[in-house]
Chains A and B, each alone.
Chain A
Amino acid sequence: MGRYILKRLLSAIPVLLGITVIVFLIMAMIPGDPATAILGSYATPENVAKLNRDLGLDKPLVQRYFIWLGNMLTGDFGRSFSLNRPALDEIVERFSATLVLAGTSFVLCSLLGILAGVVSAARQYGLADKAITFVVLIGISVPSFFLGMMMILLFAVNLRWLPVSGMYAIYGGGDLPDLLRHLAMPALALAAVATGVIARLSRSAMLEVLRQDYIRTARAKGVPERRVLMGHALRAAMVSIIPVLGIQAGFVLSGAVYIELVFQWPGVGRMLVDAILKRDIILVQGGVVFVAACYVLFNIAVDVAQSLLDPRIKT
């Protein structure tokens, strides 16, 4: 197992390098004088000169890339001009807030989605199946940002159950119950679409598995139906569900950008949008590379989980 993890980590290196190349190339598309474009309204002559020095913007493209890469590898993501602080500090701080939100959503959508899918398959064409199918259809069609806004209207404005926005109350907050109260709506709104997708997939994966001969064997042994479903069938279905969880994690992370805006969550998505509007390119490219790299590592974890589940995968 240790060797397998190492192997997967090594194979991630070219992907990570590829990500930096892609981001670098996209940023190289910026029209006009890069330093001025990057600095935008912060472009004083000193700043332009400093940036040109820092990034070696006068040097050839390839050389510039390696300087940038080398700096990142030593933990230097450059300095955000709009916030006047090291980009990496800001990114890490904001990303941890996003992790709280997206992580909660991911756990929610995995659990709810798989549960709904299993129930739906077990009661195929029954009332529960139809109800779930209907809710799932709505769930995957509502844009998460609209759903979030409607939730605010209902739960925060009309029912006054939950706070409208933010991560903590401004006065007297900061503890775990306070965080959970702030987290409830955004996490649910963010989880909705992924829950629907996972539920659909789990349902069809379960139906596929339930037709297999080894399920008949389990029944022939006298295994109780509940255990056939939640043990034999679900375990086999997880082999096709887990890769989709990995993909959906990417969608949850993407959706977080909208949800963070709707709920004023201080996450990395809102940071990126603000940075784009302020033309703070250093912060954007650092943030994109950082988050994408984390996602690549997460997908390795998904692969490892898959290999733990399925002994047929060669480790």
Chain B
Amino acid sequence: MSAFLRLLFRNRLAALGAVVLGAILLLVLAIPLLPLPDPDVIATADRFQPPFSEGHLLGTDHLGRDLLSRLLYGTRLSLAVGVVAALIAASIGSAIGIIAGYFGGRIDNIIMRGVDMLMAFPYILLALAIVAALGPGLLNALIAVAAVNIPFFARNIRGITAGLAQREFIDAARLAGLGHTRIILQELFPNVLPVIVIAMSTTVGWMILETAGLSFLGLGSQPPQADLGSMLGEARAALISAPHTSFVPGVMIFLIVMSVNLLGDGIRDALDPRLKSGALSRPLPMTQVRRRGDVPPATDDLLAIQHLETQFHVGKRIYRAVNRVSLAVKPGECLGVIGESGSGKSVTALSVMGLVSSPPGVITGGAVRLEGEDLLGAKYETLRAKRGEKVAYIFQDPLATLHPLYKVGHQLAEAIQVHHKPSDREARARALDLLKSVRMPNAESRLDNYPHEMSGGMRQRVGIAMALANDPEVIIADEPTTALDVTVQAQILALLDDLRRERGLAIVFITHDFGVVAQLCDSVAVMYAGRIVEQGPTDTVLNAPAHPYTKRLIACVPELGGGQRELAAIPGLPPVVDNLPEGCAFAPRCDKARDECRRGDIPLDGQAPRAVRCLFPEEPVT
């Protein structure tokens, strides 16, 4: 609770709301102590006195009554009426909701039908109908406002209760032979109460406003009794000649509603864990780059990742997701990058085209060079022109990575149209060719499908077709076959291999599966905790792994290209990269670890193209 309050008050606006509302409440409670004139004493001689006049701090109204006094009494009345309406709506609505949610079935059905019908009205119509039947008056306005808010509570509370009613502790209570009433009162109600309180705190502002509104219309409090709404309503006639009489109650309503809103928002934010982690940040069009240190010089590779450092800055914590990683591919080459999830392999891949979500991602060092040109220093437009055109991505899980509301043909055509200017018809023809080139069955009719209408294998073919749209030079495939079954996976891999041979594509293949690497890649880099721990030609690494981690990874694959591929057989978990131990990151899971392993920085050592980051390698790599 105190953590909740701290969170609430860290939100400065919520604190402001609390202060304003607190001040208003204090003033209202202090009414008996204040030297206020009677709010209803008429003195027509003193009518429409301006604010700050003798004896009337806020002036007087059209009957010469003291505005300050009327304001405070009116505020008290408005607040009281709003709160009472909220209490009534909450109790009746919650009772209905609990009954519907607890009993379920027919009872639930009938009740919720009724609630839906009440909610089919614009709220004020219902309130007006009730006032029409009962006659104008503050009490009737209160009843009307409470009544129109009952469905809101009923629906919310019913949802919560229906969820709770399925839980074991309710079953247990039933088996113990408790009656319905006891179960509802002793087991359900205490669990539902917090939700009721929150729902009330978010609606009480509305109810104050709604009752004030009805009074403003002349349907609520009747003279001489006045709440804020009827004060404003009476002042309306003199709006032009004595605007202060309108201003005073109007501003008060505004202050009350605003402070309640601010407080309500604060409560909601404090309770919503997503906002705490700052996860609801919008990722920028490209990853932020704040490089320290020198930019490495150009090489003659097609794509070169040089000493790349990518970090996630979350609050004060820094996660070193990618720590000085260097990789390179030449045309027609396939490079496998392998590691467990969290090893930094996907972040490395996404860093290339600035696609790491930022915030929280930041590239803090190194370079990514395409044909020698440094992409990390490039302007957005330069980078964008190369995305999909020179370097294309194939992502995992195409149900999430294809736009759900655009037809597949449209998404393919768009990939071309953002870089070239074909007519719609040409683009569509090209999209069809692409689908055919990835051997999509019934390509023609598939163009007009939405992603959700396809199978996983077909969607992944669309993903590949989209990557091929502009004949890129490099394809970065981020676990493109993980979500697929083994047969489809084999087909997709064969397809990629053909494309590489036919088109001279360079492929960077991110995976956690040595079987896939063996099938497709010329060379392989093994990543662990954000760093490369071993690299070399695929055959050599597979046949003579040097790093203990690589050896274990390979041992986990019972039969290359099939069977169980999880890395669960390695005891322990990969480390969290915000606080790495000194020395070898694998030491806690390594059975060869000695004291030396836990000291100093262990270099990636060996003779190109072989290298390993281990003091006691399984095989010599020189």
Check: B133 CB closer than 8 A to any chain A CB.
Answer: yes
* Residues A142 and B254 in contact in the complex (CB < 8 Å), given A221-B414, A221-B415, A251-B122: yes
Give min CB distance, A219 to chain B, whole Å: 6
* Residues A141 and B261 in contact in the complex (CB < 8 Å), given A213-B397, A258-B213: yes
Q: Which residue of A lies closest to B403 (CB)?
A: A214
A18-B117 in contact (CB<8A): yes
Interface string of A4-39 (1 = CB under 8 A from B): 000000000011001101110011011000000000
A220-B387 in contact (CB<8A): yes
A309 to B450, CA, bound (A): 12
A222-B405 in contact (CB<8A): no
A273-B128 in contact (CB<8A): yes
* Residues A295 and B415 in contact in the complex (CB < 8 Å), given A146-B232, A275-B132, A276-B219: no
Mark the stretch among A70-78, A86-94, A106-114, A204-212 that contacts chain B.
A204-212
Quick one: which of A89-139 are within 8 Å of B by CB?
121-122, 124, 137-138
Q: Which residue of A lies closest to B246 (CB)?
A: A149
| Chain A positions within 8 Å of B397 at CB level | 213
B380-A225 in contact (CB<8A): yes
A149-B250 in contact (CB<8A): yes
Q: Which residue of A lies closest to B217 (CB)?
A: A273
Check: B163 CB closer than 8 A to any chain A CB.
Answer: no
B395-A217 in contact (CB<8A): yes
Mark the stretch among A44-52, A58-66, A170-178, A280-288 that contacts chain B.
A280-288
A273-B218 in contact (CB<8A): yes
* Residues A236 and B403 in contact in the complex (CB < 8 Å), given A145-B232, A222-B388: yes
A222-B389 in contact (CB<8A): yes
Interface string of B124-154 (1 = CB under 8 A from A): 1110111111111000000000000000000
Give min CB distance, A267 to chain B, whole Å: 13
Check: A179 CB closer than 8 A to any chain B CB.
Answer: no
* Residues A26 and B133 in contact in the complex (CB < 8 Å), given A207-B281, A257-B124, A311-B452: yes
Q: Given A18-B117, A221-B466, A291-B125, output 20 extra A-B contacts at Cβ < 8 Å.
A: A29-B133, A138-B258, A141-B261, A146-B253, A153-B243, A157-B240, A216-B357, A216-B401, A217-B402, A219-B387, A225-B384, A235-B403, A235-B406, A250-B123, A251-B123, A254-B122, A277-B218, A279-B135, A284-B132, A310-B405
Point out residues on A near B: beta carbons under 8 Å. Answer: 14-15, 18-19, 21-23, 26-27, 29-30, 121-122, 124, 137-138, 140-143, 145-146, 149-150, 152-153, 157, 204, 206-208, 210-225, 227-228, 232, 235-236, 239, 250-251, 253-255, 257-258, 261-262, 269, 272-273, 275-277, 279, 281, 284-285, 288, 291-292, 295-296, 299, 309-312
| Chain B positions within 8 Å of A311 at CB level | 404-405, 450, 452-453
B387-A257 in contact (CB<8A): no
Check: B603 CB closer than 8 A to any chain A CB.
Answer: no
A26-B130 in contact (CB<8A): yes
A143-B209 in contact (CB<8A): yes
A221-B257 in contact (CB<8A): no
* Residues A292 and B236 in contact in the complex (CB < 8 Å), given A143-B257, A221-B388: no
Check: B283 CB closer than 8 A to any chain A CB.
Answer: yes
| Chain A positions within 8 Å of B232 at CB level | 145-146, 149
Set B129, B239, B415: member contacting A152, Cβ < 8 A: B239
B386-A222 in contact (CB<8A): yes
| Chain B positions within 8 Å of A141 at CB level | 254, 257-258, 261
A222 to B381, CA, bound (A): 9
Check: B393 CB closer than 8 A to any chain A CB.
Answer: yes
A218 to B395, CA, bound (A): 12
A145 to B380, CA, bound (A): 47
A291 to B280, CA, bound (A): 39
* Residues A22 and B117 in contact in the complex (CB < 8 Å), given A208-B280, A217-B403: yes
A254 to B253, CA, bound (A): 18
| Chain B positions within 8 Å of A295 at CB level | 120-122
Most A C-beta atoms less than 10 A away, residue of B129, B131, B218, B380: B129
A222-B122 in contact (CB<8A): no
The prevalent SS among residues of A at the interface is helix
A220-B217 in contact (CB<8A): no
A261 to B218, CA, bound (A): 11
Check: B212 CB closer than 8 A to any chain A CB.
Answer: yes
| Chain B positions within 8 Å of A236 at CB level | 403-405
Most B C-beta atoms less than 10 A away, residue of A153, A219, A227, A311: A219
| Chain A positions within 8 Å of B539 at CB level | none
B258-A235 in contact (CB<8A): no
Check: B524 CB closer than 8 A to any chain A CB.
Answer: no
Query: Which range contains the number of B residues in contact with the other chain?
Result: 35 or more
A228 to B406, CA, bound (A): 13
A211 to B356, CA, bound (A): 11
B405-A239 in contact (CB<8A): yes
Q: Which residue of A lies closest to B219 (CB)?
A: A276
B384-A224 in contact (CB<8A): yes
25 contacts between A and B (CB under 8 A): A18-B120, A19-B117, A26-B130, A142-B257, A143-B209, A145-B232, A211-B357, A212-B400, A221-B414, A222-B419, A223-B414, A225-B380, A225-B384, A228-B285, A235-B406, A258-B217, A272-B125, A273-B219, A276-B136, A277-B136, A292-B122, A295-B120, A310-B404, A311-B404, A311-B405
A253 to B128, CA, bound (A): 13
Check: B483 CB closer than 8 A to any chain A CB.
Answer: no
* Residues A146 and B254 in contact in the complex (CB < 8 Å), given A236-B403, A276-B219: yes
A140-B133 in contact (CB<8A): no
* Residues A214 and B452 in contact in the complex (CB < 8 Å), given A222-B385, A285-B129: no
Give min CB distance, B15 to chain A, whole Å: 14
Check: B81 CB closer than 8 A to any chain A CB.
Answer: no
* Residues A296 and B120 in contact in the complex (CB < 8 Å), given A145-B232, A276-B128: yes
Check: B113 CB closer than 8 A to any chain A CB.
Answer: yes
* Residues A223 and B418 in contact in the complex (CB < 8 Å), given A218-B403, A239-B405: yes
Give min CB distance, B522 to chain A, whole Å: 24
Give min CB distance, B312 to chain A, whole Å: 14
Set A250, A262, A291, A312: member contacting B236, Cβ < 8 A: A262
Check: B216 CB closer than 8 A to any chain A CB.
Answer: yes
B121-A292 in contact (CB<8A): yes
Give min CB distance, B382 to chain A, whole Å: 11
Check: B114 CB closer than 8 A to any chain A CB.
Answer: yes
B355-A220 in contact (CB<8A): yes
A261-B217 in contact (CB<8A): yes
Q: Which residue of A lies closest to B218 (CB)?
A: A277
A142 to B246, CA, bound (A): 14
A232 to B403, CA, bound (A): 7
| Chain B positions within 8 Å of A299 at CB level | 120
Check: B270 CB closer than 8 A to any chain A CB.
Answer: no
Give min CB distance, A157 to chain B, whole Å: 5
Closest 10 CB pairs of A and B: A18-B117, A141-B258, A254-B124, A146-B250, A222-B387, A222-B388, A250-B122, A221-B388, A213-B400, A284-B132
A310 to B355, CA, bound (A): 27
Q: Which residue of B lies closest to A220 (CB)?
A: B393
